[in-house]
Amino acid sequence: MSNKVSELSMLEAINETLHSEMARDERIVVLGEDVGRNGGVFRATEGLIEKFGESRVVDTPISEAAIAGSAVGLAMAGLVPVAEIQFLGFSYQAMHQIAGQIARLRYRTQSRFESQITIRAPFGGGVRTPELHSDSLEAQFANIPGLKIVLPSTASDAKGLLTSAIRDPDPVLFLEPLRGYRGIRDLVPDEEHIVPLGKANLIKKGDDVVIISWSYQVELSRRVAESLEGEGISAAVLDLRSIVPLDIEAISQIVSHCGRAVVVQEAPETGGFASEIIATINDECFWSLEAPVARVSGFDVPYPVGMLESLYVPDEARIRSAVLKTMENG
Amino acid sequence: MAKPNDKQLQMILEDMVIARTQAGRLWNLQRQGQVGTIAPIDGHEAAVVGAVHALEPESDWVLPQYREPLGLRRYGPEVLDTFMLYNLGHPAGGHIPDPVKVAPSQISLGASIPHAVGLAWGMSLKNESGVVLVFFGDGASSEGDFYEAGNLAGVLKAPVILFCINNQWAISTPTHLQTAADSFASKAEAFGIPGVTVDGNDPSAVYEAVFNARKRALNGKGPTLIEATVYRLGAHTTADDPTRYVPSDELSAAQEKDPVHAFIKDLTDRDLWSDTKQKEIETVALEIMDDAFEKAKNTPLSANSLMDHCFVSDTSRQLRQRSFLMESMGKSNE
């Protein structure tokens, strides 16, 4: 196997992965709104219909519940649906099928049926979308047992994690950061690339404080951590990659090492997944802490319109300020 | 044949009588506190049994709502065995074993309709010959899933039969508060598929409607919406008191048309049924049910079942929770 790599955007990495997985496994069916002729509104599914045909790449009616619900039936028939919800905010219209059916299909049938279903959806702010296109709903889904939630922050991980998601016998919600589609580029292995679900990635080592995050906020956290090097603060960055399963061990190890932690999320503060991380830190390594764990979040308001967006979404300045405050504490 | 022959008519009546008899026993078991909430099949027997007798269990799937399982005897004894586990609240009650093509009861109204469409679509993608029949009620037809899935089925020409049992009531809500449409079958027009209304008290008519819908689906012509009109003769569930809202004269009129009684009379008049046969089948029905109930009660249950089958393997957090559960029970982790 060659070790060749190519520089790809996250979008290109996702598209390439869909191509290679569909070529590998003829059971895979891609379904969603505008995924066929149009190649997806962001071109994530570009070229699939030409290569794999209309029976495997299906433009559905505008019916999120029927996309998610028919995926259950496709899985029951022995196929492997890879569904796209055009924007995560639209998943509310499929919530009863995702939460009430897909996530519990294995449990309620004692594994007679399983949901080998991947649901891809772009989400997250920073690109001034219309309403409901940017909402970060990961914590809402994390409270639904039976659903894995994967959030890549690099193009390489997007390939490795999407490959794992599609092959996973359980349902995976694969969340793609809108800002990262073209804004994130890195070296992606040309050959098959697998990143197991549930393994966090320490993308930057550090000794004084760790910034824990997922998805696009990892990129911002990394920039902050690098800028702090020059100021004598050694900040580590842990990319969770998936919040279900959660790499508790990796969190515990790095927090114990640093003694200080900042958790960064784009979602609203109350009930966000950052709270879960902090509770986990309390359980695992409270006595190694030298300061209270800080969290950087969106605000407890609906995701705002474009002109207010930059006030809402955590940026480098807010992350930096939280890190500095954590360093002063204790 | 589009119409059931004499032998089939007898088998249909057997299954109807068995369903009715077992429903009575099940109601009593619930009243004795031996099983959980039950949704009685009374009044639906001809619609359910007539429909599944027009299917081929080897190739065709049935996705029930929750009132139908006692009428699915054609699909094998595993359906009742599993249903009794389900009624006990045993986790194995959701696992009807392979290769029986029946899904477990669906509590979310209409939620199985998109599953049925996806399953039928998947079967046709795999060139498997067969259809999917999904049961739901008049009330479920007001859910978004019905419209989204019906529309998708029409577009895909999926080999699916959308079988709406209109029993006139959604708990206490009568059909005129459920829809302003002329019929539930008329909603098929919006999906671009045929909509058929059939007397759900007449098992031959139901058989014929499903037979034709199946044939059409197998010929690649797509789905059919069938509305079988019946009257719910019992309560919505064991937790419901229908005397609060069902007009007694209306119920009396419906009881006059009781599908089981009418079909017994019909086949008796044609020398295809007798009192002796009736008694024999009733006895068999109770024996089968008692056996199934005994088996269900003797099915082992481990505390691990609480954690099993969420994912194919536990997350690290679930592993800890499993250990906590076992420790708190003073048992070793199996």
Chain CA centroid to CA B302, Å: 29
Average pLDDT over residues B34-49: 97
Closest residue to B125, CB basis, from A55, A65, A111: A55
Residues A58 and A181 reside in one and the same domain? yes
Find the CATH number of the domain harbouring A74: 3.40.50.970
Q: What is the mean pLDDT of chain A?
A: 97
DSSP string, A233-266: --EEEEE-SEEES--HHHHHHHHHHHS-EEEEEE
Q: Which residues of A touch B92 (CB under 8 A)?
A: 110
8 Å CB contact of A110 and B128: no
Residues A36 and A99 reside in one and the same domain? yes
Residues A158 and A207 reside in one and the same domain? no
Residues A49 and A156 reside in one and the same domain? yes
Spatial distance between the Cα atoms of B280 and B13, rounded to a whole number of angstroms:
13
Q: Which residues of B touch A279 (CB under 8 A)?
A: none
- Flag whether A118 is in a domain: yes
The count of domains in chain A is 2
Residues A266 and A241 reside in one and the same domain? yes
Spatial distance between the Cα atoms of A264 and B171, rounded to a whole number of angstroms:
48
- List Cβ neighbours of A51 (8 Å cut-off, separation of 6 or more): A19, A22, A23
Query: Tell me: the pLDDT tens digits for B281-306?
Result: 999 999 999 999 999 999 999 999 99
**For residues B285 and B17, is the Cβ–Cβ distance under 8 A?**
yes
- Flag whether A195 is in a domain: no
- Flag whether A196 is in a domain: no
Q: Which residue of A has its CA nearest to B106?
A: A101
Q: List, as ranges, residues 208-237 from A with C-beta within 8 Å of B.
A: none
pLDDT given for residue B333 in this prediction:
47
If you search the block for the tokens 């399963």, which residue do you land on? Answer: A245
Q: Which residues of A touch B190 (CB under 8 A)?
A: none
Residues A39 and A183 reside in one and the same domain? yes
Which one of the listed residues A19, A96, A133, A257 is annotated catalytic?
A133
Residues A176 and A208 reside in one and the same domain? no
Q: Which residues of B touch A66 (CB under 8 A)?
A: 114, 117, 145, 148-149, 151-152
Residues A93 and A221 reside in one and the same domain? no
Q: What is the mean pLDDT of chain B?
A: 97
Q: Which residues of B touch A113 (CB under 8 A)?
A: 103
pLDDT of A296 above 50: yes
Provide, rounded to the nearest whole percent, the portion of chain A with pLDDT above 70: 99
Average pLDDT over residues B225-252: 97
pLDDT of A1 above 70: no
Residues A17 and A165 reside in one and the same domain? yes
Measure in Å the smallest separation between the Cα of B270 and chain A Cα atoms.
43
Q: What type of residue is A254?
A: I
Q: Which residue of A has its CA nearest to B151?
A: A61
Query: Tell me: the pLDDT tens digits for B118-154?
Result: 999 999 999 999 999 999 999 999 999 999 999 999 9
- Any CB–CB contact under 8 A between A196 and chain B? no
pLDDT of A166 above 80: yes
Query: Tell me: the pLDDT tens digits for B52-64?
Result: 999 999 999 999 9
Closest residue to A69, CB basis, from B97, B104, B118: B118
Q: What is the ipTM of this complex?
A: 0.96
- Burial label for B150, CB within 10 Å (0-12, 13-18, 19+), is buried
- Any CB–CB contact under 8 A between A198 and chain B? yes
Task: Provide the phi-psi class of A149: left if phi over 0, else alpha when psi is between -120 and 50, else beta.
Answer: beta
Kindly state the tokens that stand for B198. Answer: 């059939």
Query: Tell me: the pLDDT tens digits for B167-219?
Result: 999 999 999 999 999 999 999 999 999 999 999 999 999 999 999 999 999 99
8 Å CB contact of A66 and B148: yes
Provide, rounded to the nearest whole percent, the portion of chain A with pLDDT above 90: 98
Last residue of a domain, one of A160, A189, A218: A189
Q: Supply the range of the domain harboring residue A277.
A: 201-328
Spatial distance between the Cα atoms of B223 and A133, rounded to a whole number of angstroms:
34
pLDDT given for residue B330 in this prediction:
82
Q: What DSSP state is assigned to residue B91?
A: G
Average pLDDT over residues A280-293: 98
Q: List, as ranges, residues 155-174 from A with C-beta within 8 Å of B.
A: 169-170
Average pLDDT over residues A142-147: 98
8 Å CB contact of A74 and B128: no
Q: List, as ranges, residues 256-315 from A with C-beta within 8 Å of B.
A: none
Residues A168 and A209 reside in one and the same domain? no
- The arrangement of strands across the sheet holding A118-123 comes to A57-59, A28-32, A80-84, A118-123, A172-177, A148-150, A242-244
**For residues A131 and A146, is the Cβ–Cβ distance under 8 A?**
no
Assess whether the previous peptide bond of A122 is cis (omega < 30° from 0). no
Kindly state the tokens that stand for A94. Answer: 């499929």
pLDDT given for residue A329 in this prediction:
84
Closest residue to B152, CB basis, from A63, A110, A198: A63
**For residues A67 and A32, is the Cβ–Cβ distance under 8 A?**
yes
- Flag whether A194 is in a domain: no
8 Å CB contact of B94 and A109: yes
Name which of A152-156, B32-36, B326-330 the model is least confident about: B326-330
pLDDT given for residue A28 in this prediction:
98
Closest residue to B148, CB basis, from A56, A65, A78: A65
Last residue of a domain, one of A135, A168, A189: A189
Q: Which residues of A touch B311 (CB under 8 A)?
A: 106, 146, 148, 170
Residues A31 and A107 reside in one and the same domain? yes
- Any CB–CB contact under 8 A between A106 and chain B? yes
pLDDT given for residue A120 in this prediction:
98
Last residue of a domain, one of A143, A158, A189: A189
Residues A125 and A28 reside in one and the same domain? yes
Where in the sequence numbering do the catalytic residues of B fall? 232, 236, 245
The bridge status of strand A80-84 relative to strand A118-123 is parallel
